[in-house]
Amino acid sequence: MSGLYCGVDVGSTNIKVVLVDEAAGVIARRRRPTPRLGRDAPNARAGEADPLVLLRALEDMIIDAWQDAAGGRPISAIAAAGVGEDGCLVDAALRPLSTVIPWFDDRAAAEADELAAGHDCADVTGLAFEPTRTAAKWLWIARHRPVPEAAGWIALTDFPAASWSGRAFLSETLAARTACYDIAARAFRDDLLAAARAPALPPVLPAGETVGIMRPGRLTEAGAATAATRLVAGGHDHPVAASVAHRLDPAAIVDSLGTAELVYGETDRSVPPRPDIVRSVSVLRRGREARFKVFEFAAALAPLRIATPTGDLLSDLFAAAEIPVDTAPAIDPTDHAAVAAALASADERGARRIAAAVLVACARITAGILDDLAASGVGDGPLFATGGWSRSDALMRLRADVLGRPIRRIDEPELAALGAALIAGARPDLARMLKVGEIVA
C-alpha cells in the first residue's frame, strides 16, 4: 500500500492543505481564508491571528480532505510551509500566550530603525532590519506586551507540528527570516538576539527533519493520523515552493507571482550579493545558499482594477488572447498615484494601452532582478513561473517576450503545500508527475 502524505501552507491570505499519494500524486486539495481576528478582538489589532483557531481550521481541512480521498488509510507524515515572520509567545506546554502579529503589520517601525542603526549585519544575516522582520516585532512585544520570563516562541507556520507533536522547534528557513540568523554559520547571533530582546527560542531544524510523532487529538480521533504519523519540519513558503522546481531541475530559477513577486535562485558560489538581494538557506541542499528579491507586483496591478462591462480592466487583459505591447507608453509601475491618474483621464483604448504598459514595465523590473541574481552567483538556469498570476497565458507570453526567454509554468495551484508534502516524505520524483508547459513569446 502506498504512503499518504500531507502538506500544509499557512499563507497570509489563505491556508491550504494537499494530500499526496506516493503512487498517484495529489489526491485532494483544500483552501480557505486564513482566520484573522476582527477589529473588536480584545487586546489585538485587526489582522492578528489566534494560533488555536488556525490549528482547528487546519485540522478541519485535513480531516475533510482525508475523509474524501484517502480510503481509510492514515497519513504517514505531515509538514507545513508558510509565512516567514509571524509567530507567538508560548508557555512550557506550548500553549499560546499571545496573538500573532502578521508579518505585514508595521507597528515595529521604530524598533526596526533602532536595530538597523545599532547593528548593520545584513551581510551576515542576509536581511536588513525592517518592520516586517521577526526581530523588530520581538523588540516591540518586549516593550508593549509583558513577556513572562519563561515564555518561548513558535513561528505560526511551525505551530501545528509543534502542537501535534508536543515539541517546540523552529524551521531553519523561518529562522533565516528573523534577521538574527547567520546564514553562513547556520546559527543565531547572540548579540542580535539580545538587541531584539528575543524570547527563548526552540532548536532550529532543517527542512525534512522529523520533529516527532502525532499525539492523541482530533486527527487521531478522526482516523486521519495515528501514533505513527510523523511531524516533519518544513519552512518558509517561497523556498519550499521553489524546492518543487528544484526537484525538476536543480538550476531552476523560480518566479513566484503571488501577492508579491519573488524571484528565487540558489548558488554554491561565494559571490557577494548585490544590494537588496535577500539571502537564505536552501531547503533541499544544505551546502547551497538561496538568493531572492521581492517586487510588490499586486500593488503595481491594483490601479488596473477598473470596472468594465465584463469584469475589470486587469482581468480582461489577462483573459485576452494577447496583450498588445507595441504601442505601450513608458510608465513607472511603482508610482501608483500617477498610474491611477493616467487611467482616470484615458478613454477605453487608452486605458488598455496604459495597463499593457504597466505589465511591460513590471516584466522589465523582473528582468532587472534576474540580472541582479546572475551577478549574485545564481546560474543561468531555466525560468519557472508559479503563483496565481502565472495562470494567464497572455501575461506569460508578454513576459516571455520582454524577458527574451521561455517560461516553464508548473500546473499546480498549491505549490508550497505540495513542496511541504514532498518534504514530509512523499516520493521525491513525484514532482516529475506535474504538468509543466513551456511558454514562449
Q: Which sign does the torsion angle of CA 190, 193, 195, 198 carry?
A: negative
Pairing status of strand 261-267 against strand 253-257: antiparallel
Q: What cell does 105 get?
A: 503589520
Of the candidates 214, 234, 209, the one whose C-alpha atom is nearest the C-alpha of residue 224 is 214
Backbone phi, then psi, for 325, in 5-degree steps? -125, -15
pLDDT given for residue 327 in this prediction: 63
Q: State mean pLDDT over 57-70.
A: 96
> Is the pLDDT at 245 greater than 70, yes or no?
yes
> Is the pLDDT at 340 greater than 60, yes or no?
yes
pLDDT classification of 256: cutoffs 50, 70, 90: very high
Of the candidates 325, 302, 322, 324, the one whose C-alpha atom is nearest the C-alpha of residue 314 is 302
pLDDT classification of 52: cutoffs 50, 70, 90: very high
Residues 304-327 have pLDDT tens digits of: 999 988 888 999 989 888 887 766
> Is the pLDDT at 158 greater than 80, yes or no?
yes
> Is the pLDDT at 100 greater than 90, yes or no?
yes
Classified by CATH at the fold level, domain 4-237 comes out as Nucleotidyltransferase; domain 5 (3.30.420)
pLDDT given for residue 349 in this prediction: 87
> Is the pLDDT at 41 greater than 70, yes or no?
no
> Is the pLDDT at 1 greater than 60, yes or no?
no
pLDDT given for residue 433 in this prediction: 83
Residue 47 neighbours by CB distance under 10 Å: 18
Do 265 and 397 meet the contact criterion of CB atoms below 8 Å apart? Answer: no
Do 252 and 386 meet the contact criterion of CB atoms below 8 Å apart? Answer: no
Q: What cell does 55 get?
A: 490549528
Q: State mean pLDDT over 82-96.
A: 94
Q: How far apart are CA 247 and CA 267, in angstroms?
A: 15
Of the candidates 366, 371, 401, 404, the one whose C-alpha atom is nearest the C-alpha of residue 387 is 366
Asked which of 42-51, 72-81, 209-218 is least confident by mean pLDDT, the reply is 42-51
CA 62 to each of CA 59, 213, 237, 367, 379: distance values in angstroms, whole numbers, following the listed order: 5, 16, 19, 39, 38
Q: Look up residue 213 and give its DSSP letter.
A: E
Burial of 92 (0-12, 13-18, 19+ CB in 10 A): exposed
CA 394 to each of CA 201, 414, 415: distance values in angstroms, whole numbers, following the listed order: 46, 21, 21
Residues 173-231 have pLDDT tens digits of: 999 999 999 998 999 999 999 999 999 999 999 999 999 999 999 999 999 999 999 99
pTM above 0.85, yes or no: yes
pLDDT given for residue 42 in this prediction: 56
Q: What cell does 323 get?
A: 496583450
Any alpha helices (H) in 266-305, and if so which ranges? 297-301
> Is the pLDDT at 272 greater than 60, yes or no?
yes
pLDDT given for residue 2 in this prediction: 77
Q: State mean pLDDT over 56-71.
A: 96
pLDDT given for residue 150 in this prediction: 77
Type and span of the H or E element at 362: helix 348-375
pLDDT given for residue 328 in this prediction: 60
List residues bridging with 18 in a β-sheet.
Answer: 7, 29
pLDDT given for residue 381 in this prediction: 94
Q: State mean pLDDT over 293-308.
A: 93
Do 145 and 135 meet the contact criterion of CB atoms below 8 Å apart? Answer: no
Residue with cell 488556525: 54
pLDDT top residue among 120 and 290? 290
pLDDT classification of 441: cutoffs 50, 70, 90: low
Q: Look up residue 228 and give its DSSP letter.
A: T
pLDDT top residue among 328 and 86? 86
Residues 349-374 have pLDDT tens digits of: 889 999 999 999 999 999 999 999 99
Of the candidates 273, 206, 264, the one whose C-alpha atom is nearest the C-alpha of residue 238 is 264
* Average per-residue pLDDT for the chain: 92
Of the candidates 4, 64, 12, 3, the one whose C-alpha atom is nearest the C-alpha of residue 33 is 12
pLDDT classification of 429: cutoffs 50, 70, 90: confident
Residues sharing a CB contact under 8 Å with residue 286, sequence separation 6 or more, in sequence order: 206
Q: What cell does 221 get?
A: 480521533
Q: How far apart are CA 78 and CA 409, in angstroms?
A: 26
Q: How far apart are CA 356 and CA 364, in angstroms?
A: 12
pLDDT classification of 115: cutoffs 50, 70, 90: very high
